[in-house]
Each structure stands twice: as structure tokens, then as C-alpha cells.
């Protein structure tokens, strides 16, 4: 009798586990079959995560946190990393480079971090790279987009400790140009941030589009300093130049303000095509709601309805259930980062930096955004994010992508002299 009861209980346990595994979805419970490595990994795996948690962009920090925390909860509920617990500590990066370095040193020297992750600003990422070589810990960048991080620090200077989970400026500049080449207009202008990120993206967009479409000209540029709240003079600059197309890498709250003020000034009635490389960010979609015009091109570093497969749908569902929010691209990147560490540590069988770098290089990882491959040369994660035309949908209180165009990462992400002719797609750098 007793035996029978026991076995039934065990049967129930097994059933529950299976159900839990099914609920977690295939992306999560991909058996890596590396339980043998379990014994080598000592103590918890500690991840020091830094993101902006104060000031006007504090909302981004919240979005990072949602993704990262959810992954930590899931991974620990499913047995941790190679049998040991995953721990995370979160610190405010404040967007200032000295604070980013201080955080990194605190994480490694005082808290005992095995891995670092996060970082929103490109300036911070560039300042951190040499520090990571010195601290000898892997840093997974989940937001900063400058191509110089991976091209110069990783590829040229050989800082092997730095990896990037999200699409870099290539997506905002090159992919945009490849979409723009098929649009029936000949003049483009920009309102973009008056710092490195804005200048680089516009340069990439211009050089590629000019090579693909010699008949196109670029008629005006207006640069808005960080913290701009009044875009009316910038909008007048553009309306005076009368371009057919507007390209803008304004992002977050400033993009929301620019679109609202552009609407009021009739900007979107005057231009025929609009391209917003980070317009599909969740804070922008939600912040603008129905005020985002229809039929403008938007993209992001992850878009919550792409890819349209079971794994992504399940993840978005679980995320919404956990946080009553749709995932932002930084949430997806933070979430996937934890799984990248899990997979690499289990493959390496240890937390040792060198071994983990070896495992991460060329590693392919199933994530909500699709399969990512960490390119060996520059440690950039290769995955596709669509460009799409905005439209209303009764299911959502904000605009979503209607018609979509996917420019594969393989078609526009290569740069430096990574071997072979494929390293030089249509663009000229």
C-alpha cells in the first residue's frame, strides 16, 4: 500500500515537472545534456547587471530588470546553472562613464561577480571595454549600440571579454538604407541626436543608400542635443528643406516628443516616407499609442511580435503575465543574456572566463528574438529584426507592424576585414 502511494506521488511529481517544462516552452528547456559538468562549477553563478535607473530614462532600467529577473527566476526554478544557483545584483549605471567603471569594479572586486551585463550608453561601453580586459570578466552588452565597441575593442584591440547581445548601429543605418532603396523617393533629411550615435547612423544610412541609389540626395540635417524637449525649430528646418523622406534615430522619450510635435506641425503630411530605426521600441509604441502615424517605417533591436513562432509567443505571454507589460527590446536582451551565460557555463563546465569566452564564441542560442549566433570575429550576436510599416490593431492599445521587410543580419552586419567578399555587402564604409 505504502509503496503504491509513494510511486503515485513520484508519478505526480514527474507529471508536474513535465507540465512545468511544457509551460516554460522549448526555448527555455532545451536540454543541453551537460549535467556531467555539474561538479566542476563551484558556488553560485553571480551576474552583476548595470543599467540606468534614475533620471528621464529610468524606465529603460525597469525594462532591463523585468527581463533579467524573470530569467533568473526561471533558471533557478529549473535547477539553476549546471546545478548551482544563479544570482544577480542590479546597480544604477546613471549613463555616466565613470559610474559604469565604478560599478564594474564594485561588482568584481567587492561582490565577486562572475559575469557582468547591461550598459545602455555607448560612451559607457567604450570606457568599460579596456576595464573588462583588466578585470578579466565577460561583459554582455544589452543596449549600447556603437559598432566601435565590437569593431575596435573586440576585433582590433583583442578585448575578448566583451560580447553584445543586441543589434548595433548596422541595423539602424545599413538595414534602413537597404529598406529605403526600394522606396520611390529621391530626397532624405534627418533630425537625429547630436552625439556619436546620431552622426554614425546617419553616415551609415547615407553612404549605403548613395551607393545603392545614385539618384538620391540628402537635403538637410538637424541635430538635437541630449535632453531636447522642444523640436519645433528642428521640424522647421526639415519643413523648409522639403525632403520627401525623414530618417530619425531619435529614441525613447525624445522620439515620442518629436513625433507628437511633428504631428502638430503637419510634418508627417508633408513628407512621404518616415524611417524610425528605434520606433518599434515598446516605450515608444506605448507612449505614442494612437498618435503614432500609420504607414511609417519602424524597427528596433527586438520586436515583440517577431519571430511569429511558438517560442516567442509563449515568452511574450509569460512576460505579460509576470509584469502586465509587453516586453521591451532591452527586456528580451536581458532575459536572453542570462540564458547565454547558462548555456556557455554549462558547455564550458566552469565559470572560468577563458573557458566561457571559448564557449560563447560561435555559440548559437535559441532566444525569444530567434536564434542568435555570437560571431567569432567581433563577438556580435547575429539575429534578424524586421522593419515594418505601422498600423492599428484592435488587439493592442498601440500601433504594431503591418507589412514587414526583413534585412537579414548576414546581409548588413559584416564590417572590418572579416575574411571573404561577403564581408563587404553593398555598403561602402
Partner 1 sequence: MLESIVHVCLAGLSGGMFIWLVASGLTLIFGVLGVLNFAHGSFYMLGAYLCFSVLRALGQNFWWGLLLGPLVVAAVGYLVERFFLRRVYGLELPYQLLLTFAFVLLFDDLVKILWGAGSLGAPGAPGLTDSVPILGRQFPVYNLFVIAVGPLVAVGLWALLEKTWAGRIIRASSSDREMASALGVKVPALFTAVFVFGSWLGALGGGLAVPYLGLLTPGMGEQVIIEAFVVAVIGGLGSLKGAFLGALLIGLLSAFGTRFLPAFDMFLTFILMAGVLLWRPQGFFGEKR
Q: How far apart are CA 4 and CA 9, in angstroms?
A: 9
At 191 the three-state DSSP class reads strand
Name the residue nearer to partner 1 (CB basis): 62 or 196: 62
* Min separation Cβ 60 and partner 1, Å: 8
Alpha carbon of residue 104 to chain centroid = 20
The three three-digit cell numbers of residue 313, written as one number? 509567443
At 316 the three-state DSSP class reads helix
Q: Which of 58, 211, 410, 422 binds partner 1 (CB under 8 A)?
A: 58
Within 126-155, the residues that bind partner 1 by CB under 8 A are: none
234 binds partner 1 (CB under 8 A): yes
256 binds partner 1 (CB under 8 A): yes
233 binds partner 1 (CB under 8 A): yes
Whether 130 contacts 62, CB under 8 Å: no
* Residues in contact with 116: Cβ distance below 8 Å, sequence separation at least 6, in sequence order: 47, 48, 49, 50, 104, 107, 108, 132, 137, 138, 139, 140
Cell numbers 531636447 correspond to what residue? Answer: 228
Between strands 387-391 and 297-298, the pairing is: antiparallel
Name the residue nearer to partner 1 (CB basis): 69 or 150: 69
Name the residue nearer to partner 1 (CB basis): 156 or 232: 232
Measured in degrees and rounded to the nearest 5, phi and psi for residue 219 equal: -100, -25
* Min separation Cβ 259 and partner 1, Å: 9
* Min separation Cβ 52 and partner 1, Å: 9
Size of residue set near partner 1 by CB under 8 A: 39
Q: Which of 264, 309, 364, 429 binds partner 1 (CB under 8 A)?
A: 264
242 binds partner 1 (CB under 8 A): no
69 binds partner 1 (CB under 8 A): no
Name the residue nearer to partner 1 (CB basis): 291 or 294: 291
H or E element in which residue 116 lies: strand 115-118
54 binds partner 1 (CB under 8 A): yes
At 303 the three-state DSSP class reads coil
Q: Which of 168, 173, 253, 279 binds partner 1 (CB under 8 A)?
A: 253
* Min separation Cβ 56 and partner 1, Å: 4
H or E element in which residue 387 lies: strand 387-391
Q: Which of 15, 26, 43, 55 binds partner 1 (CB under 8 A)?
A: 55
CB neighbour class for 7 (10 Å; exposed up to 12, middle 13-18, buried from 19):
exposed
63 binds partner 1 (CB under 8 A): yes
* Min separation Cβ 86 and partner 1, Å: 24
237 binds partner 1 (CB under 8 A): yes
Q: Which of 213, 260, 272, 322 binds partner 1 (CB under 8 A)?
A: 260
Tally the C-alpha atoms within 13 A of residue 321's C-alpha that lie toward its C-beta. 8
CB neighbour class for 240 (10 Å; exposed up to 12, middle 13-18, buried from 19):
exposed
Q: Which of 57, 108, 333, 414 binds partner 1 (CB under 8 A)?
A: 57
Question: Mind giving me the DSSP string for 169-186?
Answer: HHIIIIIHHHHHTTSS--
The three three-digit cell numbers of residue 83, written as one number? 546545478
| Site pattern 94..123 for partner 1 (x: CB under 8 A) | ------------------------------
Which of 57, 14, 68, 66 is closest to 339 using CA atoms?
Answer: 68
Of the listed pieces 56-64, 70-78, 166-174, 371-379, which binds partner 1 according to CB under 8 A?
56-64
Of the listed pieces 71-79, 220-228, 315-323, 369-377, which binds partner 1 according to CB under 8 A?
220-228
CB atoms within 10 A of CB 324: 7
Whether 401 contacts 391, CB under 8 Å: yes
Whether 404 contacts 384, CB under 8 Å: no
Q: Which of 195, 223, 396, 418 binds partner 1 (CB under 8 A)?
A: 223
Q: Which of 239, 305, 316, 406 binds partner 1 (CB under 8 A)?
A: 239
Rounded to 5°, the CA angle 422-367-299 comes to 65
Within 155-194, the residues that bind partner 1 by CB under 8 A are: 194
366 binds partner 1 (CB under 8 A): no
Q: How far apart are CA 156 and CA 165, in angstroms?
A: 19
Within 271-310, the residues that bind partner 1 by CB under 8 A are: 283, 286-289, 291
371 binds partner 1 (CB under 8 A): no
Name the residue nearer to partner 1 (CB basis): 27 or 287: 287
Residues that bind partner 1 (CB under 8 A): 53-59, 61-63, 194, 222-223, 225, 227, 229-230, 232-234, 236-237, 239-240, 252-253, 256-257, 260-261, 264-266, 283, 286-289, 291
Amino acid at each position: 500500500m505504502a509503496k503504491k502511494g509513494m510511486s503515485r506521488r513520484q508519478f505526480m511529481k514527474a507529471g508536474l515537472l513535465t507540465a512545468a517544462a511544457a509551460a516554460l516552452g522549448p526555448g527555455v528547456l532545451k536540454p543541453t545534456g551537460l549535467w556531467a559538468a555539474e561538479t566542476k562549477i563551484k558556488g553560485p553563478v553571480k551576474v552583476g547587471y548595470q543599467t540606468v535607473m534614475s533620471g528621464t530614462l529610468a524606465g529603460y532600467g525597469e525594462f532591463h530588470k523585468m527581463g533579467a529577473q524573470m530569467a533568473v527566476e526561471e533558471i533557478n526554478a529549473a535547477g539553476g546553472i549546471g546545478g548551482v544557483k544563479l544570482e544577480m545584483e542590479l546597480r544604477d549605471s546613471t549613463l555616466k562613464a565613470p559610474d559604469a567603471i565604478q560599478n564594474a569594479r564594485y561588482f568584481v572586486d567587492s561582490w565577486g561577480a562572475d559575469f557582468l551585463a547591461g550598459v545602455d550608453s555607448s560612451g559607457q561601453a567604450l570606457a568599460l571595454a579596456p576595464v573588462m580586459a583588466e578585470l578579466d570578466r565577460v561583459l554582455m552588452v544589452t543596449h549600447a549600440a556603437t559598432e566601435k565597441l565590437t569593431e575596435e575593442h573586440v576585433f582590433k584591440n583583442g578585448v575578448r571579454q566583451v560580447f553584445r547581445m543586441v543589434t548595433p548601429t548596422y541595423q539602424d543605418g545599413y538595414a534602413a538604407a537597404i529598406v529605403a532603396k526600394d522606396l520611390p523617393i529621391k530626397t532624405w533629411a534627418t533630425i537625429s541626436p547630436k552625439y556619436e550615435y546620431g552622426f554614425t547612423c546617419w553616415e551609415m544610412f547615407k553612404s549605403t543608400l548613395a551607393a545603392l541609389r545614385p539618384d538620391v540626395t540628402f537635403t538637410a540635417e538637424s541635430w538635437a542635443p541630449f535632453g531636447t524637449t522642444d523640436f519645433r525649430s528642428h521640424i522647421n528646418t526639415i519643413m523648409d528643406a522639403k525632403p520627401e523622406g525623414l530618417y530619425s534615430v531619435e529614441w525613447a522619450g525624445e522620439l515620442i516628443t518629436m513625433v507628437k510635435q511633428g504631428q502638430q506641425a503637419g510634418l508627417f503630411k508633408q513628407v512621404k516616407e518616415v524611417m524610425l530605426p528605434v520606433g518599434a521600441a515598446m516605450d515608444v509604441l506605448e507612449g505614442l499609442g494612437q498618435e503614432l502615424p500609420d504607414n511609417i517605417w519602424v524597427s528596433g533591436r527586438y520586436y515583440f511580435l517577431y519571430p511569429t513562432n511558438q517560442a516567442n509567443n509563449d515568452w511574450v505571454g509569460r512576460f505579460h503575465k509576470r509584469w502586465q507589460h509587453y516586453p521591451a527590446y532591452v527586456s528580451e536582451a536581458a532575459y536572453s543574456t542570462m540564458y547565454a551565460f547558462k548555456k556557455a557555463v554549462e558547455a564550458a563546465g566552469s565559470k572560468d572566463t577563458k573557458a566561457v569566452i571559448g564557449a560563447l564564441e560561435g555559440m548559437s542560442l535559441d532566444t525569444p528574438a530567434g536564434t542568435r549566433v555570437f560571431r567569432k570575429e567581433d563577438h556580435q550576436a547575429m539575429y534578424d529584426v524586421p522593419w515594418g510599416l505601422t498600423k492599428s490593431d484592435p488587439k493592442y492599445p498601440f500601433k504594431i507592424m503591418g507589412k514587414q521587410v526583413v534585412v537579414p543580419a548576414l546581409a548588413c552586419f559584416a564590417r572590418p576585414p572579416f575574411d571573404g567578399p561577403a564581408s563587404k555587402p553593398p555598403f561602402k564604409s
